[in-house]
Structure 1
Amino acid sequence: MSQSKTAGPEPEGKTTEEEQPRSPREIRLVMIGLVVTMLLAMLDNLIVGTAMPTIVGELGGAEHLSWVVTSYILATAASTPIWGKLGDLYGRKGTFLTSIVIFLVGSALSGLSQNMSELIGFRALQGLGAGGLMVGVMSIMGALVPPRERGKYQGMFAAVMALATVGGPLIGGFITDHLSWRWTFYINLPLGVIALAVVTVTLKLPKVRNNARIDYLGALLLTTGIVSLTLITTWGGQQYAWGSKHIIGLTVLALAALIAFCYVEQRVDEPMLPLSLFRNRNFTMVSIIGFIVGFVMFGSTVFLPLYQQIVQGASATNSGLLLMPMMFGMLVVSLVVGQVVTKTGKYRIFPIIGTVVMTAGMILLSTMGTGTSSFVSACWMIVLGAGMGFLMQITMLLAQNSAELKDMGVASSTATLFRTIGGSFGVALFGALFNNRVADTMKEQLAGKQLPPGGLKDPGQMSPADLRQQPDFLQDAYHHAVSNGMHTVFLWGAGVAVIALAAAVFIREVPLRGAGPGADKPAEPSLEAAAA
C-alpha cells in the first residue's frame, strides 16, 4: 500500500493523532478513565436485569417488559459502527465524551421514568450512548498504545469483564433490596462523571478537522440490517415462531439492506465501513472468530447459571458468582497471553490454541448430567474460560493491527459489532435448541405419569422456587430435561467453535506495530501482502 494515502492535504491531526509517543504515566492516567467507562458499559444490563421484576411492579406494563431490554440492545448495536466512523472522521476524544454524556443523560432520565413507555424510550437513548462507550475505549486504546505494547494493559480489561459479570447481579440485587430500583440507573452517574473528568483532563489528542461527507445512506442501510438481525434473534422462537411472517419479513429486510449496503459502500468516497478491510485476511478471520466468541460466550453465560440453579441446587441470589470459574480462567490466560505478545511480538499460535481449548471446554460441558458435581462443572468452566481468554483481547488486537491508522475506529467498532451480533445469535439459537430438548425430554419422562391438578407449568418458565413445589417425580424429570438441554446446547456450541478453529488456522503472522525490529516502519505494506 502506498504511503500517499497519508501524505499531502490530510486534515490536521489525521495522522499525528495515533503517532505521538505516549509516556507510560500518561497512558496509565488515561487508562483510569477508560477502565471506568468500560465498567460502566458492562455493568448496566447486569444491574438492571435484577431489578426488572420490581420495576414492573411499580410502573406496570408487564406486556412491554421485553422492550426495556430490546430497545437498549437495538440502539447499542445500531449505533456501534456509526460511533466508530465518527471517531475516525472528527476525532476520538470528542465523540467518546459525547457518547458518555448521552449515556448519562439516558441513565438519569431512565431513573426518572414514570411509566413503561418513558422507560423504554429513555433506555433507547441510553443504548445510543452505550454504543460509543466500548468502541471509544478500544479505539482510543488503539490510538495511544501500539499493538505490540498493548499486552501490558489488556489484563485490565479482562479484569473489568470478570468484575462486571460477578459484581453486576450482586450490586443490582443490593440496590433493589435496600434502595429504590431507580438507583440501578442513578449509579451510572458518579461513575460516568469520574470517567468524563479523567478522560477530559488526561487524554491529549490533536483536534481533527475533516470535510468529508458522512455516508448517510450507508449508515441508514447498515442500521436497518443490524436492527433487523437483532430483532430476528430477539423475537425468533419467543414472541414469534421462526417460520412466522414477521421473522421471514425481517430476514428478507436484513438481507436486502445488507446487500444494498455493500453496493453503496463501494461507490462512496468515505464509506461508513470500508469493505476493503475485509480484503485483509487477518481482519476477516478475526471477525469470524469474534462472532463465534460472542456466540459461545453469551450463550454459555445465559444457560450455565440455569443448570447450576435447577440441577445442582445453587442459590440464584448471587448468580454472578456462579460464573466465577469461567471468569477466572479467562482473566488468568488473558493476562499471560498479553505479556507474552508484548515480549515476543508473536501471536498466531494463540487464536489456534484458544479455539481448540474453547471447543474442548464446550465438549466437556456437554457431558454434564444430573449427577455432575459443582467441582467438576467448575473445572469444565475454567477450561472454557481459558479458551476465551486466548481469544477475547487477541481478536481486537489483530483487528486494529490489520487496519490503517485512520480506520482505527471502524476496525474497533466492526470487531465489537461482530461479537455483539454473534452473542445475539448464540442466545437465540441456544435458546431454541434448549427449549425444544427440554420439552421433548419432559414428554418422555412424564409419559404415563399422573400430573398435578391443573397440569404442568410451562417448563421454559419454571423457576427453582416453582420446581421445589412440585412432586419428586416432576423434579427428577425436569432435572433430566435441563441436563439434556445443556448437552444439546454445548454440543452444538462445540460444532460452531470448530469454525473458529478453521478461521484461526488461516491467520498470518504479520508484524505488530510498536516496539521491536522494524517498529519505525509502517505496518500497512506488510498487511497488504497478507491480504492475498
Structure 2
Amino acid sequence: MSATRPDSNSAGLSEAEKDHSTEVDIQETKSSRGLAFWLVVLSGCLIDFATALDATIITTALPKITTNLGGQQQYVWLANTYVFAATAVMPFVGQTSNIFGRRIPMLLSVVLFTIGNAIAGASINPAMLIGARVVTGLGGGGIFVLNDLIISDLVPVRERGQFLGFRIAIATIATIIGPVLGGVLAQASWRWVFFINLPFSVITLAIMIPFLRLKHKREPTWARALARVDFLGNIIFVGSISGVLFGLINGGTTFPWSSWHTIVPLVIGFVGWAVFHIHQASPICKEPSMPPLIFANRTAVTCLALTFIACGLLEWVVYFLPIYFQSLKNTTPLTSGVDVLPFSIIYVPLAVVTGGLLTKFGKYKLIHWVGFAATSIALGLLSILDIHSPTVEWVFFQIILSIGAGCTLISILPVIQASLPESYAATATGTFNFVRNFGFVWGITLPSIIFNAKVEQNLHLVQSAAVRQLLGGGAAYGYAGTGAIGKLPSGIQAQVHRVYYSALSTLWQAAAGIAAGAFLLVFIEKRLELRMGLETDFGMEDSQGKDFPVKESEVIA
C-alpha cells in the first residue's frame, strides 16, 4: 500500500492556493527545459516511429518475404520472433538501467535495433532473418522500456501523460501507414521493409550521443555494478517466458492446442514464472528486477491488470476488425485497412487530449472509467455488425472504440509510477512494458481460440465439403483475406457469411465482457495525487554537467 505525502510548502493551503502552487510548479519545471531536453524528446519520438513501423510494416510484406527466402515452414517464427525477444528482455533492461544508468542501455538498444534491421534486410535465408529479428527485438524491447523511463526521469508524473500521448500519437501514425507501406515496398524490394528503419535509427543516434546526458550513481568498479544484476532471476524469467510464448505462438498454428508440443512449454513456462516470483521475494535476490512491492501495491497491481486488458483488447481489434470487412463485406485486405481508419484517425488526437487532461487536472479514475465503458459499449456494438450494416454504423462504432483506447492506453503508466516511490520507476516501467507486450500476445491468442472454436462449431452450416475444408483447422482467418468468399455461389456464400458472423459476434461479445470487467477494476484504484515535483537520481545534465533544477516530492511506500 502506498500514499503520497504533500510537499511541506503546500501543507495547510486551501484548494485555490494549491492549484496556484501547482501552476507555479508547472511553469518552473517548464522553464528549466533547454534545447537538450527537447532534442532528447525528439530523438525518442523518432525511434518510437521506427519501432512502431517495424512492428507493422512486416505484416503485409511477410508472404512476399517468405516466398523469396523459402521460409514458408518458418512463417510463424518470422512473424513473432521480434515480439518474443522484445517481451522477454524488458524486466532485465529496467533493472540494469538502474545500475548502469539510462544512457548506455538506450544507446545499446538503438544500436541493436539498427544492426538487426540491417542484417534482416541483407538476409539470404530464413535462419539469418530469424536471427536478425531476435537482435532487432532485443533492441526494440530496450527502446520501449527506456523511452518511457527517460520521459519519467525528465518529466513529473502529472505531465507524463501529455508527453506519452504525443509519443503514442506518432507511433500510431507509423502503425497506420506501416501495413500499406509494407505492401508497396514488398512489390519493389522486400529488403527495404527493414532498411527503411535505418535512417531513423542513425538520426536518433546522432542526436542521443551528444545530448542524452543523464546522471546516475555510479558504482566504484564494474565488478560491483555487475554484482547488483539479478542474473539468476533474469535467466529464470527469460526461460519461463520463452516457454509461455513458445506455447502461445505455436498453439493452434504449428501444433494443435491439445498437442504436448503446446502444453508442455506452457506448463513449464508458467511454473517457472511462479518460481521467478518466489526468487524475487527471497533473500537470495538482493536487487529484484520485478520487486514484490509492485505486486503488493493495490493501485499498481490493478493498473497492471488494466494495462494487460487494454493492450490485449487493442490487439484483439487490430487483428479481427479487418476480418469483418474481408469476410462479410468481401473487401480486400488493403481496402479493409482503409475501412479501419476511423478508429486510428480519431484515436491519435484523443490520446493527445487525454494526456493534456491528465496534466491539467491530475485526475485519472474518471478517465479510466470513461475509457473502459466506451470500449465495452463499442465492442458490444461491433457484435451486431453483419453483411447489411451500413457504413455509418461501423464508422460510429469505431469512433466510440477510439474514445476508449484514447482514454486508457496512455493514462495508466503515470498512475503506476505515482503509486510507488520514484526509486521504483525503472523496475515499474520495465514491468509495465512487459505486461503491455504480454497483453498484445494474448490479444492475438485468446480471440483466435474463440474465433476458430466457433467456426468449427458452425462448419456444418456450409454444405460444400470443399469450402468446409478451406475454413476448418484454423484456416478461416486467412481465407477471409483471399477474396475467395465473394466468388462463391450465392447460396454457399450466404452460409459462409453466417459462419463468420456467428464467430465474430461471439468474439466481440467476449471482448465486451472483458472490458466491462476492467471497468469494475477501476473501483479498486486509489485516488492518488499525480505529483508535479520530480525526485530522481537520473535527471538531465546541462552543458556544464550540472543538473537541471527539479522540485522534490516525498513518497511513502
Correspondence 1:15-164 to 2 at 5 A? 22-23=32-33, 25-164=35-174
Assess, with a 3 A threshold, how the Cα gap between structure 1 residues 361 and 450 changes in structure 2: closer, same or farther. closer
1:283 to 291, 296, 300: 300
Assess, with a 3 A threshold, how the Cα gap between structure 1 residues 310 and 464 changes in structure 2: closer, same or farther. farther
Range that drifts further, 291-300 or 462-471: 462-471
Query: How many angstroms apart in 2 are the aligned matches of 1:70 and 1:367?
Result: 32
Query: How many angstroms apart in 1 are the aligned matches of 2:32 and 2:424?
Result: 20
Cα distance, 1:116 vs. partner?
Answer: 0.9
Query: How many angstroms apart in 2 are the aligned matches of 1:523 and 1:500?
Result: 30
- Are positions 1:391 and 2:398 aligned together? no
Please name the residue that 1:365 is paired with.
382
Cα distance, 1:484 vs. partner?
Answer: 1.4
Cα distance, 1:38 vs. partner?
Answer: 0.9
Please name the residue that 2:490 is paired with.
472
2:421 to 383, 386, 404: 404
Query: How many angstroms apart in 1 are the aligned matches of 2:405 and 2:37?
Result: 26
Partner of 1:346, secondary structure, is coil
Query: How many angstroms apart in 2 are the aligned matches of 1:361 and 1:72?
Result: 31
Please name the residue that 1:265 is paired with.
280
Contact preservation (8 Å) 1:295, 1:422: yes
Please name the residue that 1:524 is paired with.
555
Please name the residue that 2:508 is paired with.
490
Query: How many angstroms apart in 2 are the aligned matches of 1:356 and 1:257?
Result: 35
Cα distance, 1:426 vs. partner?
Answer: 2.1
Query: How many angstroms apart in 1 are the aligned matches of 2:501 and 2:207?
Result: 48
Correspondence 1:241-390 to 2 at 5 A? 241-266=256-281, 267=283, 268-317=285-334, 319-390=336-407
Read off the aligned partner of 2:159 and give its amino acid letter: E
Cα distance, 1:254 vs. partner?
Answer: 1.6
Cα distance, 1:239 vs. partner?
Answer: 2.0
Please name the residue that 1:227 is paired with.
242
Please name the residue that 1:182 is paired with.
191
Query: How many angstroms apart in 1 are the aligned matches of 2:179 and 2:409?
Result: 22
Contact preservation (8 Å) 1:166, 1:323: no
Query: How many angstroms apart in 1 are the aligned matches of 2:83 and 2:551?
Result: 41
Assess, with a 3 A threshold, how the Cα gap between structure 1 residues 75 and 377 changes in structure 2: closer, same or farther. same
How well do the aligned residues superpose, as a CA RMSD in angstroms? 2.4
Assess, with a 3 A threshold, how the Cα gap between structure 1 residues 450 and 99 changes in structure 2: closer, same or farther. closer
Please name the residue that 1:10 is paired with.
none
Contact preservation (8 Å) 1:442, 1:477: no
List per-residue Cα deviations over 1:88-147 (Å, max 9, x = no partner): 211112101100101111111111111111111111111111111111110001011111
Query: How many angstroms apart in 2 are the aligned matches of 1:207 and 1:71?
Result: 33
Unaligned runs of 5+ in 1: 4-18
Cα distance, 1:303 vs. partner?
Answer: 0.4
TM-score scaled by structure 1?
A: 0.89
Contact preservation (8 Å) 2:382, 2:394: yes
Query: How many angstroms apart in 2 are the aligned matches of 1:62 and 1:134?
Result: 30
Range that drifts further, 194-203 or 313-322: 313-322
Partner of 2:333, secondary structure, is coil
List per-residue Cα deviations over 1:2-45 (Å, max 9, x = no partner): 99xxxxxxxxxxxxxxx998416443222110111111111112
Query: How many angstroms apart in 1 are the aligned matches of 2:337 and 2:104?
Result: 34
Assess, with a 3 A threshold, how the Cα gap between structure 1 residues 339 and 473 changes in structure 2: closer, same or farther. same
Contact preservation (8 Å) 1:108, 1:186: yes
Please name the residue that 1:431 is paired with.
448
Query: How many angstroms apart in 1 are the aligned matches of 2:110 and 2:502?
Result: 43
Query: How many angstroms apart in 2 are the aligned matches of 1:453 and 1:40?
Result: 40
Contact preservation (8 Å) 2:464, 2:492: no
Contact preservation (8 Å) 2:325, 2:336: no
Query: How many angstroms apart in 2 are the aligned matches of 1:130 and 1:499?
Result: 31
Please name the residue that 1:12 is paired with.
none
Cα distance, 1:450 vs. partner?
Answer: 5.4
Partner of 1:393, secondary structure, is coil
Cα distance, 1:456 vs. partner?
Answer: 5.0
Query: How many angstroms apart in 1 are the aligned matches of 2:180 and 2:105?
Result: 32
Partner of 1:99, secondary structure, is helix
TM-score scaled by structure 2?
A: 0.86
Contact preservation (8 Å) 2:50, 2:201: yes
Partner of 1:501, secondary structure, is helix
Cα distance, 1:305 vs. partner?
Answer: 0.7
Contact preservation (8 Å) 1:88, 1:408: no
Partner of 1:524, secondary structure, is strand
Range that drifts further, 317-326 or 453-462: 453-462
Please name the residue that 1:204 is paired with.
213
Partner of 1:465, secondary structure, is coil
Query: How many angstroms apart in 1 are the aligned matches of 2:411 and 2:466?
Result: 53
Query: How many angstroms apart in 2 are the aligned matches of 1:397 and 1:294?
Result: 16
Cα distance, 1:289 vs. partner?
Answer: 0.0
Read off the aligned partner of 2:211 and give its amino acid letter: T
Contact preservation (8 Å) 1:166, 1:321: no
- Are positions 1:507 and 2:525 aligned together? yes
Query: How many angstroms apart in 2 are the aligned matches of 1:284 and 1:2?
Result: 15
Read off the aligned partner of 2:303 and give its amino acid letter: V
Assess, with a 3 A threshold, how the Cα gap between structure 1 residues 282 and 63 changes in structure 2: closer, same or farther. same
Query: How many angstroms apart in 2 are the aligned matches of 1:20 and 1:128?
Result: 34
Cα distance, 1:500 vs. partner?
Answer: 1.3
Range that drifts further, 487-496 or 372-381: 372-381
